[in-house]
Structure 1
């Protein structure tokens, strides 16, 4: 177990540039741009009447949610490239013999990479997203100080918003990782065979499969087949009516309501099938890797 945890930690050390250093730089740039916007007068922090207390809280709420969505999209894109690179890294840097000398099978080595993609790497991005919320919290607090309207009620309200949005972001990331697990496994398995060429192959594979179904069984065109319809369904998280209704309302955001809505609408049967499919794909890839290395 210790060896497996060490392997997962190794994945973080080898890819911390994309999952830690790069995001921290982006946060610093965005925070600096926000501070600059206030200092040069691009943003007017002076409000009057009810705007004293309503606007800063609403801006923080929407801003933190926007940051969370942005980091979620960043995570999806980065994990795609990680799977295409990480699963082929041992072969590329000639470290295969070293890892073969450890009491770790090829299956466990590849599973450690998938485990890293589901745990420590997204966890770092989640931490960066929370840091973004803290910095945004500071901007909202300074705005209220400028207006002279900092109260205990304001601090309580903004702390509650932070907790609700953080909860929603955590549930969104967890559900997204479970939902997209089979896609990550496919990209990683292809990478064990063709290396970084897994990126264009993984992008073209759905179209090729759908075209093959169209040629074999007929239809209007390659993008109107059962395969393509299923892939469209499987490539997007379910819509949450709560998020749509909240955005057009004036009520505070409820992370509990959002999380409950998302969890209830997620097809957990598909999640279970996808998890089994991912393990099977990784096992096949590990067998290929073992046989190729033995030869």
Structure 2
């Protein structure tokens, strides 16, 4: 167990630039943009009456958009991590050193995948919460300085922080479970072809769909069961749900909507497909570990 934890810790140390140092730099940019927005007149806070009462609620949307942006950043970086991290041992000639550890090749690849769905996204999520807290705090201080905010608004900001953080956490967990087979596929391809894993992984479904079209027929390769399934699994799990909630209006008028949204998203998720994806991820990692073991032996 200690060796497995050490492997996960190694992944964080080797890739902290993309999952810790880079995001911290982006936090400074977010805070700077917030300060500029309230100091150069881009945001008008000279409001009174009922508009001021709902001002904190209006900050819900910038906080939510900020967390969505962090989520998109994380998903993009994770796929590049899988393409780089799974091939790093072979590229830097440390394969024999890591193979001397009392763990199997499958365990080493599994540690990389576990790091990709736990520690690494956890670091980015913590930084996302930090950036949201600094953004909300900066906005609140600016409103106090301009005399347009009441002390009671801190309670509303706390509610916004809690609910947006909960929504971001649930969407992060759901997305990681949903895209785990894609990350495992990229990682398995990286074991064999290195950094070319991402384009080859994108090409593989097209080849399978073309093979189905040639053998079973159809109008074209992009109208096959294979392509329909890949399109379904590549769609964001919250797609459609966000539009429904925006249309219904609870997120726009109530900062206490995090729990029902999270429960709705969890209830709508296709858990059977999630289970199939986990089994697929473990299978491709096992095949990649067998290739890695035999390739290193030769």
The change in CA–CA distance for 1:82 and 1:215 in structure 2 (over 3 A counts) is same
What is the aligned residue count? 294
Distance across 2 between alignment mates of 1:261 and 1:268: 13
Distance across 2 between alignment mates of 1:142 and 1:41: 15
Render the CA deviation track for 1:141-176: whole Å, top value 9, x for unaligned.
Answer: 123303424434311111011101111111110111
Structure 1 equivalent of residue 54 of structure 2: 54
Q: Tell me if 1:128 matches 2:130.
A: no
Distance across 2 between alignment mates of 1:190 and 1:240: 28
Secondary structure at the aligned position of 2:152 is classed as helix
Structure 2 equivalent of residue 289 of structure 1: 292
Structure 1 equivalent of residue 253 of structure 2: 251
> What TM-score do you get using the length of structure 1 for normalisation?
0.95
Structure 2 equivalent of residue 13 of structure 1: 13
Distance across 2 between alignment mates of 1:125 and 1:24: 9
Distance across 2 between alignment mates of 1:51 and 1:108: 57
Structure 1 equivalent of residue 193 of structure 2: 194
Distance across 2 between alignment mates of 1:271 and 1:85: 25
Tell whether the 8 Å contact from 2:60 to 2:160 is kept in structure 1 after alignment: yes
Structure 2 equivalent of residue 93 of structure 1: 92
Distance across 1 between alignment mates of 2:259 and 2:116: 26
Render the CA deviation track for 1:267-295: whole Å, top value 9, x for unaligned.
Answer: 11111111111111101100110011111
Render the CA deviation track for 1:30-66: whole Å, top value 9, x for unaligned.
Answer: 22122123222232221122111212431x2001110
- Map residues 116-265 of structure 1 onto 2, 5 A cutoff: 116-239=115-238, 243-248=242-247, 249=249, 250-253=252-255, 254-265=257-268
More displaced stretch, 83-92 vs 232-241? 232-241
The change in CA–CA distance for 1:216 and 1:80 in structure 2 (over 3 A counts) is same
Tell whether the 8 Å contact from 2:63 to 2:164 is kept in structure 1 after alignment: yes
More displaced stretch, 33-42 vs 78-87? 33-42
Structure 2 equivalent of residue 41 of structure 1: 41
Tell whether the 8 Å contact from 1:27 to 1:132 is kept in structure 2 after alignment: yes
Q: Tell me if 1:81 matches 2:80.
A: yes
Secondary structure at the aligned position of 2:237 is classed as coil
Structure 1 equivalent of residue 271 of structure 2: 268
Secondary structure at the aligned position of 2:253 is classed as coil
Secondary structure at the aligned position of 1:124 is classed as helix
Distance across 2 between alignment mates of 1:276 and 1:242: 27
> What TM-score do you get using the length of structure 2 for normalisation?
0.94
The change in CA–CA distance for 1:118 and 1:136 in structure 2 (over 3 A counts) is same
CA RMSD, Structure 1 to Structure 2 (Å): 1.5
Tell whether the 8 Å contact from 2:34 to 2:139 is kept in structure 1 after alignment: no
The change in CA–CA distance for 1:143 and 1:56 in structure 2 (over 3 A counts) is farther
More displaced stretch, 35-44 vs 215-224? 35-44
